[in-house]
Structure 1
Amino acid sequence: MNRFFLIAPFVLVTQLSAQAQQPVQSPVIERTESILYEKRITEKRVSNSGIPSSPLSGNPASMVPEPVVAEPSSPVPSARPGQPAAPQPAFPEPPASQSEIRLLRMLMEAQGHKIDSIQQEIFRQKQAATASTEGQREPAASPATFKRDNVSVGVYMGPNLSTYSTDQDSLGSRARVGYQLGLYVRGGGRLFGQLGAEYVGISSKRYSKDDKGASLNQLNSTINTHYIQVPLQIGYRPLMTRSKRTGIRIQAGAELSYLLKADKNDFKLTDADYNQTVINLLGGLGVDLGPITLDVAYHHGIRDAYRVENAKLRMVSASLGFKF
């Protein structure tokens, strides 16, 4: 009895170690062997069907199906110890005929051509849609262009018509054509500011009404004065392009006029008879056509031009300019 209790544990340990040394078949290995077995069966069926590997020809005789050849029996690989046998088909599958293979190939080629034509049509439609969108959409301004057009410098010149408004019945004034030329710096977007400097020649016809016994032609004279003006304006663009190169401007402000000199005249007016500095209000309308500018402005004096007389400037100017 004591021998049995001594031998039984030794036998149990020996059996457990033998089982541990046997290879364990995982489901992945079993599935792989099953797939390999099916692959060998399929290759043998295709080789027995006699399908040519060369492309199809248009010969109608080649479309005749060949007789079905029964698949020869193939030995089934023996299963390993502890491994389930590979599944076997209940009935052998008949080999594919040559006509069926040709038909499948023709169908695949037709589908491939159809897919290629659809892809080409989609590509053409995308190109047409992209071209129409780019044609309607204005190109975005680059950072360099935006910076350049946000601050611009321009020059201009043009004629003006000026006269003096006075409440004295003894004196009168008629408008004559003068001129101006200048430059400016403009900065901003839809709302902008503008600072300029210009040389202005003002000309008017002055006459007296009180001298009796003399004709009006003998009592008038042309008064020409020359000023340096510094206009400061604030403007708004109600219409403009994205690049700010083209649009309509409305602007208003004030200008400081400094007298340079007064020409000789029959009324004996000299530089001492004029106020050296005059302030005028101004407002105008401008159009930008790319680099070309057109401006019309009205200048309204709020300080007398003469020291001893009540006479304020009234002037309309037009300018053609170029901006950079």
Structure 2
Amino acid sequence: MAAVSTQTIGTIAVFGATGQQGGAVVDALLDHRARVRALVRNPQSGPAQALAARGIELAAIRIDDPASLAAALATVEAFYFMTPEANSLDEVEAEIRVGTALVDAAAAARVPHVVFNSVFGADRETGVPHHDSKRRIEQHLGKSGLRVTMVRPTAFMEGFASVMAPGLEHGEIVLRLPLPADVALKMISIRDIGRVATALLLDTAAAPGGAVELVGDELTGPRIAAAFGARAGLPGRYEALPLSVLSNDLDRAMFRQFAEATDYPSDLAVVRSIEPATLDLVGWIRATGWTAPASVAGS
């Protein structure tokens, strides 16, 4: 993405800059030569110092200290934030506390525009605790009086390079997911989360109705396996697994929602109207240089 002039001339504040999604936002903002202020708990940490080395201003904050939060958000033109991903019910409650504190601080600082990195489905009750927590933060934002845009990412394509990675077995690329074979998985690349959020932060684009579901592609398991197989020059095979293979209730609830999300049509054109270069899965496979893994033992 080429650097361009922006309509926003002030500093953009980012909470979550050391994470994957927040890091993608930072990358895209710097591509646009924007000034970035990262809100960090420990400015001396390695990840925070890596941001500083890129010319990013660091603002030390404590979530339980409203004054530090409001000071960090003083005079910024826009604010992007996401909340820590919860892995337990206790962490879900902690996530809500973090999000609520950040919203209150943004209101106190009268931030002109807030972009919240939420999750797909947060416009409705899903029964997924770490997704419904973001719904509660969205609702708090709605009462704040702030100008707000919600970005709601779907499943990350990057999962196919880690926890959802296809394997090579008996000369086939094999993908196994706890998802029915006839269900299309909605997905987005983390890079494009950053690019879309940046366009909104810089006011070079707007989200219809103040929210956008981030979907770069929508494919069934067999079509995903076929895409990886085509890249490897091998047959692709998909096997649907039961939800019981997942290790915790939160993940089971999430994959159950992935299956139910097919009932809610996606408009991929909306995302591409904001970021025309949004990757589909084949584009992501090509852009990341994905190659077939080594064959498993005995295959």
Q: TM-score, normalised by structure 2?
A: 0.19
Structure of larger gyration radius: 1
Greater per-residue helix proportion: 2
Higher RCO (CA 8 Å, separation ≥ 6 residues): 2
